[in-house]
Structure 1
Amino acid sequence: MGRMLVTPSRAAQLAVPKPLKPPGPPYGEAPAPPPAATSGTPTKGLRHPLRLPLALFAVTLLLVLLHQGRLVEFFFPLGAFGVALVLYWRSPAHYLGFVCWLFFLTPEVRRLADFVNGAFNDQSPIMVAPLLAVALTGLTLLKHVTLLGQRRAAPLVLIVIALFYAYVIGMAQVGPAPATYTLINWLYPVMVAFYLTVTWRHYPDYHRVLLKTFVFGGLLMSLYGLLEFVSPMPWDAFWLIASKMQSEGQPVPFGMRVSSTMNSCGPFAVTLMALLLMSFAARGKARIVLGCVGIPALLLTSARSTWGGFAIALVYSFAMLDGKSRLRLLAGVLGLAVMATPLMMIDQVAEPVMARFSTMQDLGQDNSYQARAEFYKSFFSSAFTDIAGQGFGSIGLGTKLSDNKSQAMVDFDSGLMEVPFVMGWPGTLLYTTGVLMLMWRAYRASRLHPTDLMAVSGVGVAVAIFSMMIFINTLTSVSGMFFFLGVTLPVISLRYARECQTPRPASGAVARRVEQYLKKVR
């Protein structure tokens, strides 16, 4: 008697909060980790995770000051690997942040070492440092290989199969060295995405650490880039002359295209664009300062494709944000435009920027556009009619390791053409399917969890980088890493919000009805 009938909707109301409005922080703030999310004690035994990276860079700088460039070539990669190994086991978020810092600063360490050595090393061991650090994500794949059989890993599996298909073809066509080098540059961004997928419970740490890395990393590189443009450092001038990269400008004041601490202006422009977009999710005055110095630095790279990608990402973010955040974004853009106006009145600053803008208005006189149009005409038929593909190592920097260097094609001015050219029809179908699935999942996740600005910004970064594929392959190396970060962070953010912040209902018939209800609304 007196037995109360519990309907599914009533049970769901009593057992869990409304799933359409998941508990979350205010805009731009990371969610607090519940006990379930910290069961792995991510920073156990590592009270000061920044000490090791700071010590590594401090010792490296000391060796440079002592003119021990040869010693730096061996110490820095080994030290970076050791620090990455400690952080990998103790703190996933700080490990990934350290990997980002290595990609930011390693080229500058290489320039300093070459400068004190007095000789340009075309194959410097220093450049291996970030690759050694990011290679540790392969251990995660070995430990969690069973995850590849789950539906959430399906896009990554399709991409990896396509990459190894192109690798096998490349091994047969050009040999193991160029094919392996190219595979590494295509594969490690995917491994970073897999690492994030496995360690999704650390998302609050990722939110906090990566945002600080993006803001302060972008701030450091922007300030150095502006200084490099106004007054090039001796080691930067030495590097530009020795590398014979004529497209980077002249090593004189107001004559260089800004590349800051990275290899060239192209990778730096894409990296800075991603950091500026991700900084929308940060708080504090540092992100405002980043905008003030980052936008001029981005303009001075003279990378028109990145300018276009940045504009596309701004439009996307403006469309996806809520009303209050839209006003903030609009006010920020207008404020930066007003602050940049006096800077553009300086002839030495305005001249290179306006010259690049003028070429966008008159494409008939743009040599770069004409060359790219001719390239599309000549390679369109071969890229789409070669069913098997040419394989990894047939184009790009990997060709420098080929025995037949006379036919090496280092520059390939189209990412859209490069994918079918190296992967053929089978690899292209698998690769594009996996990439589009990742982008769709990231978009849906950001719409279902709009309280996380980092998720919205991540999708904006992915859209910007993907849109630039028409000019160059942006899904590899550093730009590829930011693409896969952008499409993975929204997914693990949503999963964290659902599985860590939503209590589980009790067992029994009512629980099954509640689970069915949650599946419908989710």
Structure 2
Amino acid sequence: MPAVPVTPPGAGLGARRSRDAARAPRPAVSSVAALPTVARIAQRAPTPALRDPLRPPLLLFGATLALLVLRQGHLVEYLFPLGAICVALLLYLRSPAHYLGFVFWLFFLGPEVRRLADFVNGAFNAQSPIMIAPLAAVSLSGLSLLKHMAILGQRRAAPLVLIVLALLYAFVVGAAQVGPAGATYTLMTWLYPVLISFYLILTWRHYPDYHRVLLKTFVYGGLLMSVYGLVEFVSPLPWTAFWLQGSQMVTEGHAVPFGMRVSSTMNSCGPFAVTLMALLLTSLAARGWPRIVLGCLGVPVLLLTSVRSAWGGFAVALLYSFAMLDGRNRVRMLAVVLSLALLATPLMLIDQVATPVLKRFDTMQNLGNDTSFQERTEFYKTFLASALTNIAGQGLGTTGIGSKLSDNPAVATMTDFDSGLMEVPYVMGWPGTLLYVSGIAMLLARAFRASRRHPRDLLANAGVGIAFAITAMMVFANMLTGVPGMFFFLGATLPVVSLRYAREGRNMSRAAAAPEPDNHNDRQHPTQTRRTDR
């Protein structure tokens, strides 16, 4: 008797399902494959984010404050930089936006931590290790550049590559002139703002997080520093008086009520004025009561710094932002500025507050009697020929604080250089100046075009205004290094990153909304469909 094949249970149902699946129409292109290449890369599994990215920075500053209360200043000098590096590394690996926000907080509050530690120790430390914390934290952004060296050959990084080449040239010349110590320190102060720009370009997919975190950082940071600056001006705190005496910075005024130029939590009134100018401008893109309070307190505090270049830069940035916005946002900005001016007026009615500001304004009207203007004019006459005729340049380390680390006393160095326009050719010579200026001009032009193509991003537009304001302030000092340089490169990069993110978002939306191809003949021609899919 022939064997009867036994069909396992469910085998017939499975066969029917297989045949139906074979006859079913298959999509011509998968949804992921339809997206642009960059968008597909963006869909890869991201690095796990921290549940609470604010906790590590708060723990660091809280522990530092506790040690200061316990009068352990020497421990703070070493534990604060070490803790700052650890927190920065954690945020760098897990949350790029909070990492950048933490870096700015270190620059905002690091000098104040140093003053408190010196006051607790009872001795002024001219080379405090605490000041290493912000520099070490921001240097971590260079790891991204080492990991993604291929970006150096891309068009979007061309301006930054020119700037880096100029700095490397000036470093080699400076190391031969004054030694590696001074040249290396000066290179760091010129280079780390550029690294911030590279980092933003590499992490452009996180732009919404940057927009949110940086706005909060700038608004609350500006609010904190403005309140502290007013307290410092009305009644100087003991550690502020101790710092003024130890640093011997006579240009900051005297530690008596209404006798200081406000520097708040930062090293001096110059960097603080530029910082507060940038924070006030970016706060125009924010919403809520904190930005209103910041405007009411920040504008008088900016005037109390007595830094005229920052006043002019603030006016330049406001005019630029007003001219570039559309009609609706222009009316909104005008209403905000007028409201803040009215709310800040009561503070300026106090005689002790208004007197130093009015005196400073008088010097702008009587430039013939202004000692600072006369000294700067004489400086331009003296160094103009030297800066333009020195083809090779003096190199990094011959100007600024790095000049104090010079190994060759025979080489002329200058700690205070009163003109950024003259310092660039004086330090870099003709080859470096050509590369550096070309890179800066390309950055500004690209930022301007990007902001015009994406005018709805108020933060990016404010960044372009800040970049142009800082460029205009180069007449008075070199604003492309240190904290002012960070705001310049941040402002010049944000519009480009914002535009790229918006474009990729539109591309992904179009790909998702694209209609599926007509596959009504798939049943009759399954073979042809399979060829098309391939």
Whether 1:209 and 2:210 are equivalent positions in the alignment is: no
- Please give the residue correspondences for 1:26-105 in structure 2 after superposition, counting only pairs within 5 Å: 37=42, 39-41=44-46, 44-105=48-109
Structure 1 CA distance for aligned equivalents of residues 153 and 435 of structure 2: 16
- Aligned partner of residue 394 in structure 1, secondary structure: coil
Aligned to 1:361: 365
Letter in structure 2 aligned against 1:424: G
Aligned to 1:403: 407
Structure 2 CA distance for aligned equivalents of residues 38 and 323 of structure 1: 37
- Cα shift at 1:91: 0.4
Aligned to 2:374: 370
Cα-to-partner distance string for 1:231-289 (whole Å, 9 max, x where unaligned)? 11110110011100000000001001000000000000000000111111111111111
Aligned to 1:480: 485
Aligned to 1:228: 232
Aligned to 1:424: 429
Deviates more, 1:209-218 or 1:344-353: 344-353
- Cα shift at 1:336: 2.3
- Please give the residue correspondences for 1:96-495 in structure 2 after superposition, counting only pairs within 5 Å: 96-404=100-408, 407-495=412-500
- Cα shift at 1:114: 0.1
Contact kept? 2:49, 2:95, Cα under 8 Å: no
Structure 1 CA distance for aligned equivalents of residues 288 and 42 of structure 2: 26
Cα-to-partner distance string for 1:475-511 (whole Å, 9 max, x where unaligned)? 001000000000000000000000133227679xx9x
- Aligned partner of residue 463 in structure 1, secondary structure: helix
Letter in structure 1 aligned against 2:466: V
- Aligned partner of residue 388 in structure 1, secondary structure: coil
- Cα shift at 1:340: 2.8
Contact kept? 2:460, 2:494, Cα under 8 Å: yes
Structure 1 CA distance for aligned equivalents of residues 455 and 193 of structure 2: 25
- Cα shift at 1:455: 1.0
Cα-to-partner distance string for 1:166-213 (whole Å, 9 max, x where unaligned)? 000000000001000000000000000000000000000000000000
Cα root mean square deviation, aligned:
1.8
- Cα shift at 1:304: 0.1
- Cα shift at 1:36: 7.1
Letter in structure 2 aligned against 1:171: A
Letter in structure 2 aligned against 1:482: F
Letter in structure 1 aligned against 2:427: V
Contact kept? 2:292, 2:340, Cα under 8 Å: no
Structure 2 CA distance for aligned equivalents of residues 176 and 332 of structure 1: 50
Contact kept? 2:258, 2:353, Cα under 8 Å: yes
Structure 1 CA distance for aligned equivalents of residues 49 and 261 of structure 2: 44
Contact kept? 2:300, 2:348, Cα under 8 Å: no
Contact kept? 1:38, 1:201, Cα under 8 Å: no
- CA distance change for structure 1 residues 301 and 40 in 2, over 3 Å: closer, same or farther? farther
- Cα shift at 1:39: 4.1
Contact kept? 2:114, 2:131, Cα under 8 Å: yes
- Cα shift at 1:345: 2.0
Cα-to-partner distance string for 1:143-169 (whole Å, 9 max, x where unaligned)? 100010000000000000000000000
- Aligned partner of residue 400 in structure 1, secondary structure: helix
- Cα shift at 1:351: 0.8
- Cα shift at 1:215: 0.4
Structure 1 CA distance for aligned equivalents of residues 370 and 49 of structure 2: 58
Contact kept? 2:296, 2:341, Cα under 8 Å: no
- CA distance change for structure 1 residues 91 and 35 in 2, over 3 Å: closer, same or farther? farther
TM-score by length of 1: 0.89
- CA distance change for structure 1 residues 259 and 38 in 2, over 3 Å: closer, same or farther? farther
Contact kept? 2:261, 2:269, Cα under 8 Å: yes
Structure 2 CA distance for aligned equivalents of residues 260 and 129 of structure 1: 19
- CA distance change for structure 1 residues 292 and 35 in 2, over 3 Å: closer, same or farther? farther
**Considering only CA atoms, is the larger Rg found in Structure 1 or Structure 2?**
2
- Cα shift at 1:338: 2.0
- Aligned partner of residue 502 in structure 1, secondary structure: helix
Deviates more, 1:325-334 or 1:72-81: 325-334
Query: Which 5+ residue runs of structure 1 have no aligned equivalent?
Result: 1-15, 17-33, 511-522
Cα-to-partner distance string for 1:73-102 (whole Å, 9 max, x where unaligned)? 000000000000000000000000000000
Letter in structure 2 aligned against 1:300: L
Q: Aligned pair count?
A: 476
TM-score by length of 2: 0.87
- CA distance change for structure 1 residues 473 and 150 in 2, over 3 Å: closer, same or farther? same
Contact kept? 1:36, 1:500, Cα under 8 Å: no
Letter in structure 1 aligned against 2:477: I
Query: Which 5+ residue runs of structure 2 have no aligned equivalent?
Result: 1-33, 516-534
- Cα shift at 1:37: 4.9
Structure 2 CA distance for aligned equivalents of residues 471 and 346 of structure 1: 30
- CA distance change for structure 1 residues 342 and 264 in 2, over 3 Å: closer, same or farther? same
Letter in structure 2 aligned against 1:366: D
Structure 2 CA distance for aligned equivalents of residues 155 and 36 of structure 1: 25
